[in-house]
Amino acid sequence: MKYCFIFFLISTLVGLHTGYAQVGGVERLSNGKFELVFKRASGELEKMVSVKENASFLVDEIISGGSPWEIIIDGTEKSRRIDARAASNFTTSQKANGLELTWAGFEGLPTDFRVTAYVDLLPDSAMSAWRIRVDGIAGTLIRKVTFPRIAGLKDLGEEELAVPDWMGALLKSPRAVLTPGGGGFAWEYPGHMSMQFITLYNPHDAGIYLASDDSLAYSKTFTLSVDSTGMLVYGVDNYPPYEQQLTSYEPPYAFLIGGFQGDWLTAAQLYKRWAEQQHWCRDSRLANGKVPDWVENTSYWVWNRGRAANVLPPATALGKRLNSRVSVLWHWWHGGSYDDSFPEYFPPRDGNEVFKTAVSEAQQKGVNALVYMNALKWGPSTQSWVNEGAERFAAKDINGNMLSHVYNIFTHKALTNMCEATDFWKQKYASLVDTAINQYGVGGIYMDQICLNRRCYDPTHGHSIGGGNYWMTHVAEKDRLIRSKFPADRSPALAGEGVGENWLPHLDVFLALQVSKERYAGVHDWQTIPLFQSVYHAYGITFGNYSSLLTPPYDEMWPQEQAPDDTETPLDAEFNTQFLMEQARSFVWGMQPMIANYQPFLDTIRQEEIDFIERLADVRQAGLDYFVFGEFLRPPHLDVPEETIAVSRLSIYAGRSGNVTRFESKFPSVYVSAWRSKEGKAAVALASIRKQDYRVDFVMDPAEYGIGDAGSVFVNDEHGRRKLMDYDAGNSAVSLTLPPLGICFLEFVPR
């Protein structure tokens, strides 16, 4: 159900008092909370104001370039860009809820070519809904329609930009890293952009909320850039089917633009109100009790690579140490080398019988393994590529070229994107999963790159060319095909790389490695935030961590002359605090924690760090009502000191020289979050990476957290559960001392 449909019904029933006026040379639209002003001569956007905050979101004067849309049309020799200023005829008309703006008369285009924008103000809200329709396009190839396009976004002061780049990313002072006339930022949805909104705000003043309400997963690109005049420009690139027989194009979704006061979590809550009404929440595997019990109850994941002896016994040993369920993410189990031999996975490099026996024995000890199988890629250097004619079913770009990329820095062999819409690829991949599950008995499949989307321009594949929503339609078909072959007596799991709202009905668990982004990307301006969890924690389990106390391994099937001599050896102890930080983030952000490259000898040489994850597992398992099934809340304010720590960056593969890049940066020394259980209780999770005591002092407003007028507070740590205090509306100040490297959650139980 769409925003615009909901509010159309409301406005029809109660009446929408939207002010519309022609004043001077402008068209003004206002509902007392949000105001938009368009130039009457051209339809360019001139003003955008959030009335309550008295916040103007556009620079005072946009001389030109304020077109609310742009269209790229491909010709026989070159492409052409048109916008509002290219129209010789512009008209406006008032509609029940807003304004209709129409542009026509474009030189060199059919006489019936016209662009119509519909802009509505939502009732009793500082929010507007935007839609677009392009008519008279028969015989015309449209590459993309950028709409809405908002030019001249004003500097809000102390700006922060929050984006659902998979788990979530926060950038302070974004203008400082954008180059005028440069490429700017671009986020593909569905895909790396896991949800359909971004927000630019001043946390102490006002912010702008920018979203779409597409429930059908159409391909689009959200962008933010600085143009050649220095104006900050927001836009969404929409992709019509790249077909000349198309007569009109109207995206079946609206765009939301509005004002608010708060921060990224405030914006996430605005989005959540809509998101929880969508089919991916109703059909979520977690919300419907379809996630296998062994996944829900996993206390730790071990991410090891290589032969069974290097993977399963260490995980079994850690499970014994933690006295709880440990599961495995298993790379490099397959017969070919990593990142160039896909999808030639069988037989396993251990051999059939050794592999089956090892998997079975581990399962008898409670250890299930997700084995790696890339859901998107095929290596053109493989014999199967030639034998099966795979090139016909590869995704193609707009020029007919395959979408290939070299990931393997050692062999320089490429992998190519396959088209999800082809039956050939769906059936090929499903057959591979069938073999792994039913013949080899693995616990599940880690479907690398499944949470991505590709626009394919191959006209022989049977889908709309380029734009459309066929990708997710075929992901759903692929999921049904795979699960139809699952055995009735076991509960295999499907996991995916990254996170994405559209995949909630299809995956049991999502690998979210941004929790340790510094380890693979170093220290830079973008910071990881739990944006996805703040919206969808109760609908999907996230797990993962690149957190390791050892240097990475090297695939035995890569060129041996490039193998470093220090693989899987202890990292310098100065990076131990980084390890603790990554584990603390996982805990407070409601993720299933993970350790990479675990070996039992770490219990001795990194005793403090392994003890930390043992205590973390104990505490987390006591709070699964919050950390698996709970709702993410705004944490109470704590005055948390920052500490400078050493950070290592090293590829997930051993680099050519095996060198570690060292950074230093300041990070919080205590991590905190808040949760609500389905039973109406609340919890505040705390994890310290300090070597000193930390005095916890905060006030918990019972009304804000929905925990009744009175109740009791309990401390849950590795020693168990004990009562701390009682609370009521007049006494909700909480105080306790968190010991060095302390981990706990405070549980607020209403009477």
Average pLDDT, the chain: 94
Name the domain boundary from 250, 277, 304. Answer: 277
CATH of residue 30's domain is 2.70.98.10
Look at residue 636 and tell me if it is in a domain: no
DSSP-assigned letter for residue 64: S
Look at residue 411 and tell me if it is in a domain: no
pLDDT of residue 11: 37
Pairing mode of beta strands 493-497, 377-378? unpaired
CATH of residue 709's domain is 2.60.40.1180
Average pLDDT, integer, range 54-67: 83
Look at residue 307 and tell me if it is in a domain: no
Name the domain boundary from 277, 292, 321. Answer: 277
Residue span of the structural domain in which 711 resides: 661-750
DSSP state letters, 400-463: S-B-EE---TTT---EEEBPTT-HHHHHHHHHHHHIIIIIT--SEEEETTTT----B--TTSSS
pLDDT of residue 651: 82
Name the domain boundary from 252, 277, 302. Answer: 277
User: Is the pLDDT assigned to residue 335 strictly greater than 80?
Assistant: yes
Helix (H) or strand (E) holding 91: strand 87-94
pLDDT of residue 435: 98
Return the number of other C-beta atoms located less than 10 Å from residue 283's C-beta.
15
The closest alpha carbon to 115, from 139, 141, 85, belongs to 85
Look at residue 413 and tell me if it is in a domain: no
Look at residue 192 and tell me if it is in a domain: yes
Q: Cα(first)–Cα(last) distance of the chain, in Å?
A: 37
Number of structural domains in the chain: 2
- The 10s digit of each residue's pLDDT in 353-404 is 999 999 999 999 999 999 999 999 999 999 999 999 999 999 999 999 999 9
- The 10s digit of each residue's pLDDT in 687-728 is 999 999 999 999 999 999 999 999 999 999 999 999 999 999
Look at residue 298 and tell me if it is in a domain: no
- The 10s digit of each residue's pLDDT in 416-474 is 999 999 999 999 999 999 999 999 999 999 999 999 999 999 999 999 999 999 999 99
d(CA 253, CA 54): 29
pLDDT of residue 18: 57
Is the CA virtual torsion 451, 453, 458, 460 positive or negative? positive
Look at residue 350 and tell me if it is in a domain: no
SS3 state at 19: strand
d(CA 651, CA 655): 6
* pLDDT confidence bin for 95, thresholds 50/70/90: confident
The more confident residue out of 20 and 465 is 465
The closest alpha carbon to 508, from 207, 278, 290, belongs to 290
pLDDT of residue 63: 62
Look at residue 199 and tell me if it is in a domain: yes
List b or e across 552-572, with b for residues whose CB sees 16 or more CB atoms inside 10 angstroms: bbbbebbeeeebeebbbebbe
